[in-house]
Amino acid sequence: MSKQSNTASRREILQSVEQQLNSGAIDFGEAIKILRKEITGLKQQDFAQLVGVSLRTLAQIESGKGNPTIKTLNQLLGLFGLKVGLVIGR
C-alpha cells in the first residue's frame, strides 16, 4: 500500500470515528480502541507504553469502565493528531 493510500485510509478512519462520536454511536473508549487497532495495529500493552499510560488505564477506558481525565484522553489521542478540549461560550 502506498503512503498516499495509507494517508487516505487514515483520514477515512478518523472521519468515521469523529462522525460516530458526534452522533453518540460510540464513546471515547470505543473510539480509542478503533484508532489503536485500525491505524496503529498495536496491542493494548504496546500502545499504552507508547503513549505513556498504564495498561490497566487503557483497558478500562477502552471497555467503557474508566473515567479518564482530559489529560489522559489527550495522551491517547495525541498520536492521531487529535485533542480533546473545552469550549466555553456565552
What digits encode the pLDDT tens for the residues 1-38? 555 558 789 999 999 999 999 999 999 999 999 999 99
Whole-model pTM: value is 0.85
In a domain, 89, yes or no: no
Q: Residue 87 pLDDT more than 80?
A: no
Separation of alpha carbons 9 and 58, rounded Å: 24
Q: Which amino acid is at 78?
A: G
Q: Please, which pLDDT band fits residue 41 given cuts at 50, 70 and 90?
A: very high
In a domain, 86, yes or no: no
In a domain, 7, yes or no: yes
In a domain, 56, yes or no: yes
In a domain, 35, yes or no: yes
pLDDT score at 88: 80
Helices (H), the chain: 3-23, 28-35, 44-51, 55-62, 70-78
The CATH number for 27's domain is 1.10.260
pLDDT score at 45: 98
In a domain, 29, yes or no: yes
Q: Please, which pLDDT band fits residue 66 given cuts at 50, 70 and 90?
A: confident
Name the domain count of the chain.
1
Q: Residue 50 pLDDT more than 90?
A: yes
In a domain, 84, yes or no: no
Mean pLDDT within 61-77: 93
In a domain, 90, yes or no: no
Q: Which domain holds residue 70?
A: 3-78
